[in-house]
Amino acid sequence: MNDDTKSKETTLSFEKIKQDVLRPMQNHRGLELWIVFLITVISVGAWAYYVQLRDGLGVTGMRDYVSWGLYIANFVFFVAVSLVGMLISSILGLLKVDWIAPISRIAEIIAVAFVAVAGLVIVLDMGRPDRVLNVMIHGRFQSPILWDVTVITTYLVISALLLILPMIPDLAICKKEIKTAPPMLKKLYAILSFGYTNTPEQHKHLHKMIRTLMVLIVPVGLAIHTVTSWLFAATLRNGWDTTIFGPYFVAGAFVAGSAALIIAMYFFRVNYKLQDYITELHFDKMGKLMVAVCLVYLYFNVNEFLVPGYKMKSGDSVHLKELFFGSWAIMFWSSQLLGNILPIILMVNKRFRMPKPIMIISIFVLASAWFKRYVIVIPTMLHPHLPIQNVPDNYQHYFPSSVEITVTVLSFALALLIITVLAKIFPVVPICEIADQKGIDYKIEE
Amino acid sequence: MTQKTSDKSRRNFLKSFGVTVGAAGVVSSFSLLSAAKAAAKEPGETVNLLTADGQLVQVDKNQLRPTVNEPLDELQQRGREGIAGKSFVMVIDLSKCRNARKCMSACQNHHQLRADQHHINVLQMQDADHTAPYFMPKPCQHCDNPPCTKVCPVDATFKRQDGIVLIDNERCIGCRFCIAACPYSARIFQWTEPKDAEKYKDLTYNIEANVPQKKGTVSKCLFSADRLREDKLPSCVSACPNGVYYFGDRNEDAVTNGTSGETVRFSKLIEENAGYTLMEELGTKPRVYYLPPKNRAFEFNGDLLNEENLH
């Protein structure tokens, strides 16, 4: 990727914004190949899942002690990343932070893709996915799983609405401007633009709706990750049995989500040639935001590990010693250092908040965030209250099997495919919102 | 009026028919149902049926009646209700255990488990440095405040009136939340096709023994609820050669030793021997009581460091 920054003082007209944003939607270069690649990966993953269905979860590395493994860690990661939608477009949006306008749609696309796949990942982990409807038929509201199912579906719906509603004016433009679109897509634009012509009344109603949703998604967003943390915190296990898991997970989710957004911003800026819209200023601001959320996360990490580490209660001590100095030390410390401490130190410097350095830092942060979830889920399962005895050797360790890894790769490919398709058929940067912000007049014709 | 009666009888028919052919799947039951409806109009038509002993017979469609008793349903219902008036408890005398493991193998036989799957597991314990090691049989504690049943999203695992915590593997979705929630590591999962799955595949599921085991579902100790119904002691209790186990009813305040057959007062046994429950600080309120390993009948012959020396 080559990021040749254009001169910053380009004057924007509505025509230019429209062309710049709609161009990548009509230009296919390389896209088919990428989609074919993703579909191939998904097919291989689907085959691995078929093997798992046929032979049972025994094809994974999980056994009676580590009965939640890679899938659950990955599920937590997906839920975490999806929280960026709520952070950017709602919290910052409600605070009337105006620089988020060009990147809020990318944030919503990430949110929709990741939360949708998170819902799927949890089904992939089930021993009897054929009985998934039992959750509706025999659902018990006392179980945190029911809460999780409820809030994840709600979050998916609100996120999808928060993606589509602010896009209505842009889709009205797409309907008119993209002549080469296949008929199905044209129809989609026609339906989703709801005959919007930007009359003052339409504008008022639309923005009222968006604002309502922005308020609604804040508690739902908090809930999805808090409830996900309760899947662990509601048990009596060493390492999970803590009261700060909710906010700790939410803080970690903001870090992971911001990192994912920065990577996506960089990709769209370079590949879609959106340097005039996703500017250095946006990376700079995102860098500062990331430092802020990383500091909050660091604070929670200190609380989560230092306080029990100070006391070294009998159960916790086995667990914490394994994390700090034992077989999990490398993964634990590298996820803390590369995913939290070093990024803070680097990103307080302005030059590390330039697009390329911050994108590279974000890759480390995102990868560390993934491994951090792994460190949260698996070691605890290996340190139960009673000794692990009289079981085969492979019950006492955990390493994901190739089938498990392949199915997990599927989840990533699927999320990327959803993002690719959404970014292909929808303008990734809001045309009308930018024009509004720059004070450019525009008209949307029927 | 006639309309009403026919409606009612059809409803009854639908209800019982649905139960009968539930296993055959929705599709086939609908087609059978429409066949049966059609039969009412066209008398004399016959249908081929397979009898329980494998013979194909022809029956007049008008003669079709839904089966009255569905064994699975009955087993499920009484399994969920439990035995009225009982409150089962187990007492494990640690001073008598010498790791004979007869309890483990009897349990595995009863519940169709492989040798590495444990509803009951005899653990070598040492509570702290320099304290005496001992053997501790560990079944499900059948807690009165069970962390496992709380988290089940589908009510597949539940506590019934006589205190036993059961698992319904006809309903379990295999999320394994209960395994994560259990502090005693008492639950296992059928990761692959269970032992002898082919042999037992036609057996009607008995929730009180959780057999036949099913791939992709959770299994656990059930205090041999099916044997309790026949007034027998749990498999592990009966199999012990060393008098480790007492089992009985807290309401009657009586527990019976599985080896000697001697029945003693539960309260007195616990009181005189300083009985305790496992990890009582977690608030789970177990129904399995332990008597401390003092004045032992056998030397501790285990090796806490090397598992392989055990056998």
Low-confidence ranges of chain B (pLDDT < 70): 1-44, 52-54, 62-70, 304-311
Low-confidence ranges of chain A (pLDDT < 50): 1, 6-9
Closest CA to A74 of A262, A228, A258: A228
Instruction: Say if B11 falls within a structural domain.
Output: yes
The shortest C-alpha distance from A184 to chain B (Å) reads 35
User: Do B148 and B123 share a domain, yes or no?
Assistant: yes
For chain B, say whether A64 makes contact (Cβ under 8 Å).
yes
Instruction: Say if B306 falls within a structural domain.
Output: no
Instruction: Say if B68 falls within a structural domain.
Output: no
Nearest to A386 among B138, B147, B215 (CB): B138
The shortest C-alpha distance from B140 to chain A (Å) reads 13
Neighbours of A190 (CB within 10 A): 14
Closest-approach residue (CA) in chain A for B126: A387
Instruction: Say if A373 falls within a structural domain.
Output: no
User: Do B58 and B196 share a domain, yes or no?
Assistant: no
User: Do B55 and B85 share a domain, yes or no?
Assistant: no
Looking at the structure of chain B, the number of domains it has is: 2
The whole-number pLDDT of residue A4 equals 52
Nearest to B183 among A58, A385, A389 (CB): A385
| CATH number, residue B273 | 3.30.70.20
The whole-number pLDDT of residue B43 equals 55
Interface A-B, measured as beta-carbon pairs within 8 A, has a size of 141
Given an 8 Å threshold on Cβ–Cβ distance, is A386 in contact with B122?
no
Show the 3-state SS of chain A.
CCCCCCCCCCCCCHHHHHHHHHHHHHCCCCHHHHHHHHHHHHHHHHHHHHHHHHHCHHHCCCCCCCCCCHHHHHHHHHHHHHCHHHHHHHHHHHCCCHHHHHHHHHHHHHHHHHHHHHHHHHHHCCCCHHHCCHHHHCCCCCCHHHHHHHHHHHHHHHHHHHHHHHHHHHHHHHHHHCCCCCHHHHHHHHHHCCCCCCCHHHHHHHHHHHHHHHHHHHHHHHHHHHHHHHHHHCCCCCCCCCCCHHHHHHHHHHHHHHHHHHHHHHHHHHHCCCCCCCCHHHHHHHHHHHHHHHHHHHHHHHHHHHHHHHHCCHHHHHHHHHHHCCCCHHHHHHHHHHHHHHHHHHHCCHHHHCHHHHHHHHHHHHHHHHHHHHHHHHHHHHCCCCCCCCCCHHHCCCCCCHHHHHHHHHHHHHHHHHHHHHHHHCCCCCHHHHHHHHCCCCCCCC
Token code pair at residue A187: 């129809």
How long is chain B? 311
Instruction: Say if A367 falls within a structural domain.
Output: no
The whole-number pLDDT of residue A177 equals 85
Nearest to A126 among B175, B185, B282 (CB): B175
Q: How far apart are CA A419 and CA A413, in angstroms?
A: 10
Nearest to A139 among B154, B279, B284 (CB): B154
User: Do B167 and B236 share a domain, yes or no?
Assistant: yes
User: Do B146 and B251 share a domain, yes or no?
Assistant: yes
Instruction: Say if B311 falls within a structural domain.
Output: no
DSSP string, B76-106: HHHHHH--TT--EEEEEETTT-----HHHHH
Instruction: Say if B298 falls within a structural domain.
Output: no
Nearest to A143 among B152, B190, B282 (CB): B152
Looking at the structure of chain A, the number of domains it has is: 1
User: Do B101 and B59 share a domain, yes or no?
Assistant: no
Q: How far apart are CA A184 and CA A186, in angstroms?
A: 5
Q: B-chain residues within 8 Å CB-CB of A140? A: 152-155
Closest-approach residue (CA) in chain B for A144: B151
User: Do B134 and B53 share a domain, yes or no?
Assistant: no
Backbone angles phi, psi at B192, to 5 degrees: -125, -175
The shortest C-alpha distance from B54 to chain A (Å) reads 29
Instruction: Say if B300 falls within a structural domain.
Output: no
Token code pair at residue B190: 């059928």
User: Do B18 and B141 share a domain, yes or no?
Assistant: no
User: Do B14 and B41 share a domain, yes or no?
Assistant: yes
CB B226 within 8 A of CB B235: no
Nearest to A143 among B116, B153, B171 (CB): B153
Closest-approach residue (CA) in chain B for A55: B192
DSSP string, A127-139: S-GGGTTHHHHS-
Instruction: Say if A327 falls within a structural domain.
Output: no
Q: What is the extent of the structural domain holding B159?
A: 74-291
The whole-number pLDDT of residue B66 equals 52
Q: A-chain residues within 8 Å CB-CB of B177? A: 143-145, 231
Instruction: Say if A144 falls within a structural domain.
Output: yes
User: Do B118 and B252 share a domain, yes or no?
Assistant: yes
Nearest to A128 among B147, B150, B172 (CB): B172
CB B254 within 8 A of CB B266: yes
Given an 8 Å threshold on Cβ–Cβ distance, is B151 in contact with A58?
no
Instruction: Say if A371 falls within a structural domain.
Output: no
Instruction: Say if B203 falls within a structural domain.
Output: yes
Given an 8 Å threshold on Cβ–Cβ distance, is A387 in contact with B147?
no
For chain B, say whether A57 makes contact (Cβ under 8 Å).
yes
Instruction: Say if A323 falls within a structural domain.
Output: no
Given an 8 Å threshold on Cβ–Cβ distance, is A145 in contact with B151?
yes
The whole-number pLDDT of residue A442 equals 81
Instruction: Say if B240 falls within a structural domain.
Output: yes
The shortest C-alpha distance from B240 to chain A (Å) reads 18
User: Do B159 and B43 share a domain, yes or no?
Assistant: no
User: Do B115 and B247 share a domain, yes or no?
Assistant: yes
The whole-number pLDDT of residue A435 equals 86
Given an 8 Å threshold on Cβ–Cβ distance, is B216 in contact with A67?
no
Indicate if the alpha-carbon torsion angle A411, A416, A419, A420 is positive or negative. negative
For chain B, say whether A386 makes contact (Cβ under 8 Å).
yes
For chain B, say whether A394 makes contact (Cβ under 8 Å).
no
Nearest to B154 among A55, A134, A395 (CB): A134
The shortest C-alpha distance from B40 to chain A (Å) reads 34
Q: What is the extent of the structural domain holding A37?
A: 14-234+253-294+401-438
Given an 8 Å threshold on Cβ–Cβ distance, is B173 in contact with A236?
no
Reported as a single tens digit per residue, the pLDDT across A157-178 is 999 999 999 999 999 888 888 8
Chain A residues 85-124 with a CB less than 8 Å from chain B: none
Strands (E), chain B: 46-50, 56-60, 88-93, 121-125, 134-138, 157-159, 165-167, 188-189, 218-219, 245-249, 254-257, 263-265, 276-277, 288-291
Q: How far apart are CA B239 and CA B143, in angstroms?
A: 23
The whole-number pLDDT of residue B299 equals 84
Instruction: Say if A125 falls within a structural domain.
Output: yes
The shortest C-alpha distance from A227 to chain B (Å) reads 13
The whole-number pLDDT of residue A34 equals 93
